[in-house]
Structure 1
Amino acid sequence: MSQSPHSPHQTDAGAPSLVANIGPIGGQALVEGVMMRRAGAWGAAVRRLDGSIATTVATLPRDGEGVRRIPLLRGPVSLWESVSLGTRAMLWGAKERGTADGKGYSKGGMALTTLVAATLAITFLLVIPATVPHMLGIDGRWAFNAAETFLKLGILVGYMALISLNREVKRTFSYHGAEHMTIHAFEHGVALEPDQIRRFDRRHPRCGTAFLLLVVIVSLGVHLVIGDVSLPWLLASRILGLPLIAGLAYEVIRFAGLHRHTTAGRILMAPGGWLQTLTTRPPDDDQIEVAVAALRATVSAEVDSGTPAPAEPVPAAVAGVGA
């Protein structure tokens, strides 16, 4: 997820000029594809089974802009929008690849999958890390919350490491890398060619992976304030307080993006960069080609829509396995 580039125009030889200073851009890896988003439009590209690339674009409604300017509220709003757009892009991609015949890619199947995933995330990242230290009799505000945080980090990193062993997930992580590298190249105004794009880091400072890690870290500070409570209140505070923690984490990552060239910004971004070594992989040229197609479609759609972009970089709150 990125801020506007250093150069005002994208000078990609042999292609129409893409205006590169019309606002921040974010993205997400799909199965055999990439989704990109700007302030006024989103687009996606997937590799079909016959080897061709399909693209789609759509403009985004501007209602709710007032909420997006309110600290703490804009984080949960961005999170919801990211999940919604990611789901739409995944459904579209499955149909274009000709693999949308299974229940997992129907609207009902995706809704059920999202519900199950949310339940598992709450269970393993909120309920279990809070319950285990309590059952072990770990007392003291600092000791209890440190144990809880280490459990959360262990579960999160362990899960990322485990799924990265799957062959299909590895390919998706390569598309994640292609998404980041392509955005980096676009930001720096270089030609959108594989040999040029490969010069850039496959990690990005405002990736959704970094957001997830910051949620864990920020939750430590919030839970220290709550202090020692009974187990029912403990679990309630972890679940009901999640929107607040997500909002705070969003503000932290937003601050880091605005100050990414300062020592404070680099320190805040460092943990997310470390975790992205698991969730991104070097892409091949075909995967970079798909990421470029998604970027071109998205930027061209926003330029055509004439939608004004935000004046400041606004990080995408979540990108699934994408940035």
Structure 2
Amino acid sequence: MSELKKPAYGGQAVMEGVMFGGKTKAVTAIRRKDDSIEFFHSSRKSNKLLTTLKKVPFLRGIAAIIEASMNGTKHLNFSSERYDLHPDEDYRLEEEKKESKLTLILGVATIGVLSFLFGKVLFTLIPVFLAELTRPVFSSNLAQILIEGLFKLLLLLIYIYAISQTPLIKRVFQYHGAEHKVINAYENNAELTIESVQSHSRLHYRCGSSFIIFTVLVGVFVYLLVPTDPLWVRIVNRLALIPVVIGISFEVLQLTNKVRDIPVLRFLGYPGLWLQLLTTKEPDDKQVEVAIASFKELLKVEESSSSTTEDKVV
């Protein structure tokens, strides 16, 4: 099967594991404390509005983010509840779920989306105020936008670097690298073994990290169309333009993935790949083993007639 005909699988790193999503199903594999690998299956759910929006250029990015956040939260919950718990203690999970069932339901539906929006607003407004402090020296509209973009980029890099130094996040970034290696191996028709997968790059053009850096770069160009003074107008414009920046950035991400094999154009995706040098780490063999198990389980589930089952732990 050629690469062009292969389904475009995506994934994300979770606590001590990897989630992969296909057209209708998603599977997470995690390493438990007894060294076993456990799976979580779920159906990828959407609604008519999101399905419609995903077909509309410049709106499909927002729809995809909302859908991914809603579906991915269940898998994040699964990994965070179990990764540091021995299977013999799983009875504690049922007790906790009984006590917080309403919170869990609300979390699955909203936490992912709200967290993304909160982070986006925060990283949009802080650079505005920092750039405004330099206005006595750099007063022109162009200078303010460039400085704002510079502060946004610096904050992003400092934040990612800082969290990557913590042991927990470092392991998540290693699983992120393992996820990319598996996808790269699959797309290059390579054998899905630990040795084969480890030989592939931990970077990928379609990564969400690339999307993040593109929102910074696209924002610089979009903000040139609106004034930066007075401050309250600048703040309102930045908040109002968040959906616009997200929509355009998603299209840029899709474009860079489509032209990645064209020598003259493949450099368009380099900023995203450079950022992935921070958001991914080289995984060890056991982490790659988990990623391979997750991906193979997804392929099996999507091909199986039993794939109509609801969310379940395996």
Q: One fold, TM greater than 0.5?
A: yes
Letter matched to residue 119 of structure 1: F
Distance 1:113 1:254 in 2: 22
Find the counterpart in structure 2 of residue 299 from structure 1: 299
Aligned pair 1:59/2:43, yes or no? yes
* Distance in 2, Cα, partners of 1:228 & 1:122: 17
Alpha-carbon deviation of 1:126?
1.1
Question: What does 1:144-163 correspond to in 2, within 5 Å?
Answer: 144-163=144-163
In structure 2, give the amino acid aligned to 1:73: L
Deviation at 1:287, TM superposition (A): 0.5
For residues 277 and 244 of structure 1, the distance between their equivalents in structure 2, rounded to whole angstroms, comes to 27
Letter in 2 for 1:213: I
TM-score where L is the length of structure 2: 0.84
Letter in 1 for 2:44: L
**Contact map agreement 1:31 1:172 (CA 8 A) in 2:** yes
Match of 2:2 among 3, 6, 18: 6
Which residue pairs with 2:124 in the alignment? 126
Does the Cα contact within 8 Å between 1:173 and 1:280 map onto a contact in 2? yes
Gaps of at least 5 residues in structure 1 are 9-20, 308-323
**SS of structure 2 residue aligned to 1:177:** helix
Partners in 2 of 1:22 and 1:229 — Cα distance? 49
Structure 1 position 34 matched with structure 2 position 33 = no
Instruction: Tell me the distance in 2 between the aligned counterparts of 1:175 and 1:157.
Output: 20
Q: Name the structure where helix makes up a greater proportion of residues.
A: 2
Q: Any conservation in 1 of the 2:69–2:112 contact (CA below 8 Å)?
A: no
1:92 corresponding residue in structure 2: 78
Q: Per chain length, whose mean CA-contact separation is higher, i.e. which structure has more relative contact order (CA < 8 Å, sep 6+)?
A: 1
| Separation in structure 2 between the aligned mates of residue 109 and residue 63 of structure 1, nearest angstrom | 18
Matched residue SS, 1:136: coil
Contact 1:104 1:113 in 2 (8 A): no
Moved more, 176-185 or 253-262: 253-262
Deviation per CA, 1:25-62: give whole Å up to 9, x if none. Answer: 11100010101111222111111111111112223246
> Distance between the aligned counterparts of 1:95 and 1:160, measured in 2?
24
Q: Contact conserved, 1:40 with 1:62, CA < 8 A, in 2? A: no
SS in 1 for 2:213: helix
Q: Tell whether the 8 Å contact from 1:181 to 1:200 is kept in structure 2 after alignment.
A: yes
Secondary structure class of the residue paired with 1:226: coil
Give, in whole Å, the separation in 2 of the partners of 1:146 and 1:182: 38
Pair 1:76–1:250, CA change in 2 (3 A): same
What is the DSSP-based 3-state SS (H/G/I as helix, E as strand, rest coil) of the residue aligned with 2:199? coil
1:74 aligns with 2:60: yes
Distance of 2:80 and 2:45 partners within structure 1: 24
CA RMSD of aligned residues (A): 2.8
User: d(CA) in 1 for partners of 2:53 and 2:305?
Assistant: 22
Write the distance in 1 (CA, Å) between the matches of 2:112 and 2:207. 23
Matched residue, 2:216 = 216
2:260 maps to amino acid = R
> Aligned runs of 1:304-323 on 2, under 5 Å?
304=304
Question: Aligned partners of 1:104 and 1:266: how far apart in 2?
Answer: 48
Q: Percent identity?
A: 29
1:305 and 1:252 map into 2 onto residues whose CA distance is: 37
Q: 1:195 to 1:68 in 2, by over 3 A?
A: same
CA apart distance, 1:204: 0.6
Q: Deviations over 1:82-103 (max 9, x none)?
A: 2222211111123343656699
User: Counterpart amino acid of 2:16?
Assistant: E
Deviations 1:164-210 (A, max 9, x none): 11111111111000000011111122221111011100011111111
Q: Partners of 2:146 and 2:306 in 1: how far apart?
A: 49
C-alpha distance in structure 1 between counterparts of 2:247 and 2:100, whole Å:
30
2:184 counterpart of 1:184: yes
CA distance in 2, matches of 1:62, 1:118: 19
> Aligned partners of 2:210 and 2:248: how far apart in 1?
14
Paired residue for 1:15? Answer: none
1:200 aligns with 2:184: no
Please tell me whether the aligned partners of residues 27 and 36 of structure 1 are also in contact (alpha carbons under 8 angstroms): yes
Shift in Å, 1:120: 4.8
Letter in 2 for 1:242: I
